[in-house]
Structure 1
Amino acid sequence: MNLDRYLARIGLDAAPAADPEGLAALQLAHRLAIGFENLAIPLGEGIRIDSASVFDKLVMRGRGGYCFEQNRLFSDVLSAIGLVNRPLLARVLLGLAEHAAPPRTHTLLLVNMQGAAWIADAGFGGSFVPPMPLEDGAQAQTPDGAWHRLLRSGERGSLGGEWRLERAGPASATDGRSAPHGDWQPQYIFDLSEVAQDDLEMGNHWTSTRPNTRFTTLCVASVVLEDGFAAMTDRQLSLYRNGASETRDIADAADYARTLREVMGIDLSDEEAARLPLFA
């Protein structure tokens, strides 16, 4: 971990304090600067989630990544500024039927801060999830106008998890999987079980190789904006800013790479974009 290089990547001059306000500022800067993306999968690059590989890709090479990469990097950064943390695994519920029990293919972080437990998530591609205290009924609002809350959910060891993250807010400030609503909708469920590196490796392998899933059939990217959210699914870009939404189609590989650089903060060359299945 080269903390100075990371801070330069996310546009901060210095590391914030190791307190709730500092955690929120650090995670927001990360989400504004480093886009979420799965493009290593359709490009055939493979996804490595050890610390050195993740730092090289997301910081040194200016690429983005998905949850197993983003939260590996964010965990290392939190450790570097003195915040003890460990990974958790979650089941993503976006767009699924009630009582669905998908595999644990999302990772987030449990942070010990000032004697209390918090969750932090720099790698959720569906929307902007803010840091929250691990308390039943805890709520937080994000700049896109959405509210988020944590609820105790299910018994320990059950498929329903111990905790459920919900969101209420504009569907346009998501990656398109949220239904139009004004009420609470589930995002993911998780428990507090210890997670080993091999558990993460197994989840990453399933997510990056399982046929006919979101990450193996689509090219996706998203990023938090100061006043909203931007998402790209294949050749369609959706922008939500200041309460207004717009969409446009991506014309060609050069337009795709330019949009990634200018909107998502993801450095993909025109030549790499041209190798995506979208333009083959």
Structure 2
Amino acid sequence: MSDAIDLAAYLQRIDYRDAPAPDLPTLRALAVAHAAAIPFENLDPLCGMPVRLELDALERKLLHEGRGGYCFEQNLLFAAALRAIGYTVHGLIARVLWNQPEDAVTAQTHMLLQVEVDGDSWLTDVGFGSMNLAGALRLEPGVAQATELEPFRLLERGGEWRMQACVRGDWLTLYRFDLQPRAFIDYVVANHYVSTYPESNFVQHLIAARTLRDRRLTLRDREFTVRRPGAEPERRTLGDSAEVCRVLEQEFGLRLPDRAALQRRLDVLPG
């Protein structure tokens, strides 16, 4: 897959106005800007539409059509931008453990990135929805690392790593992974599974998330939640599909595809 991204269009989409350089401050700033500007969303699989991972499809959807996407789309686009700036980037794959037991055996359905900066390895991930990293973590186990929202940390045992976030005082595991770089085809296969398997959350439920500097916005079916550090979550249940669409547009900044078809699908969601 070509990484010849339109870097100017990408930087405009995420409203990044400085001259990018392959250093750590830029990596962190890009991750924060990306997470705020390009929301996590699953409208295509929810509506039975294919999810393409080729770079031209990602640019068209996420840069020019005002859409977002989930982990494979988000992190493949981010990786292409980072490589265009001059970073060395390796794609990794993970087993999600968020809201699962620590010993759960889940499929490899999440993508994250390992980025080399000045001889050090860093992890970044702009595609984990409600707990988006929106920053970069040094590849160092057992150390709490600050972000603009929650602290994150990495644990390592026998070559297996776990990404954790401190949520209201508790360290919770997001996913587990190893450091073996993955080929594009691995993401194509995993993407097909999560976007078409009948029991996939992305097929059954509406999921959207946006990570801003001071808060996290999430929408699952009709439950809209705002989470701020140190405060109780603010939740409200949305009414009809028209209200859901308004929230997607106004709070998540999405330009909606085929509104009538989307509303018909939203009409049969739980809640």
State TM-score, norm by structure 2.
0.91
The RMSD of aligned alpha carbons is 1.7
Residue type matched to 1:90 in 2?
A
Residue type matched to 1:206 in 2?
Y
Tell me how far apart the structure 2 counterparts of residues 239 and 268 of structure 1 sit (CA, whole Å). Answer: 21
Q: Does 1:190 align with 2:177?
A: yes
Query: How far is 1:139 from its partner?
Result: 2.8
1:255 corresponds to which of 238, 243, 256: 243
Q: Secondary structure at the match of 2:129?
A: coil
* Aligned 8 A contact 1:139 1:148 in 2: yes
Q: Secondary structure at the match of 1:86?
A: strand
Query: Compared with structure 1, are the counterparts of its residues 23 and 272 closer, same or farther at alpha carbon in structure 2 (3 Å cutoff)?
Result: farther
Residue type matched to 2:77 in 1?
L
Tell me how far apart the structure 2 counterparts of residues 183 and 36 of structure 1 sit (CA, whole Å). Answer: 24
Structure 1 residue aligned with 2:212: 225
1:28-43 equivalences in 2 (<5 Å): 28-43=32-47
Structure 1 residue aligned with 2:256: 268
Tell me how far apart the structure 2 counterparts of residues 42 and 249 of structure 1 sit (CA, whole Å). Answer: 19
Q: Which moved further from structure 2: 27-36 or 190-199?
A: 190-199
Query: How far is 1:147 from its partner?
Result: 1.2
Q: Does 1:136 align with 2:141?
A: yes
Q: Secondary structure at the match of 2:98?
A: coil
Aligned positions, number: 262
Query: How far is 1:15 from its partner?
Result: 4.0
Q: Secondary structure at the match of 2:44?
A: coil
Q: Secondary structure at the match of 1:200?
A: helix
Q: Percent identity?
A: 37
* Aligned 8 A contact 2:130 2:217 in 1: no
Q: Secondary structure at the match of 2:192?
A: helix
* Aligned 8 A contact 1:92 1:188 in 2: yes
Residue type matched to 1:263 in 2?
E
Residue type matched to 1:250 in 2?
L
1:152 corresponds to which of 153, 156, 159: 156
Residue type matched to 1:142 in 2?
T
Query: How far is 1:261 from its partner?
Result: 1.7
Structure 2 residue aligned with 1:179: none
2:195 corresponds to which of 189, 208, 218: 208
Structure 1 residue aligned with 2:166: 168
Q: Which moved further from structure 2: 203-212 or 83-92?
A: 203-212
Query: Compared with structure 1, are the counterparts of its residues 273 and 211 closer, same or farther at alpha carbon in structure 2 (3 Å cutoff)?
Result: closer
Runs of 4+ in 1 over 4 A off after TM superposition: none
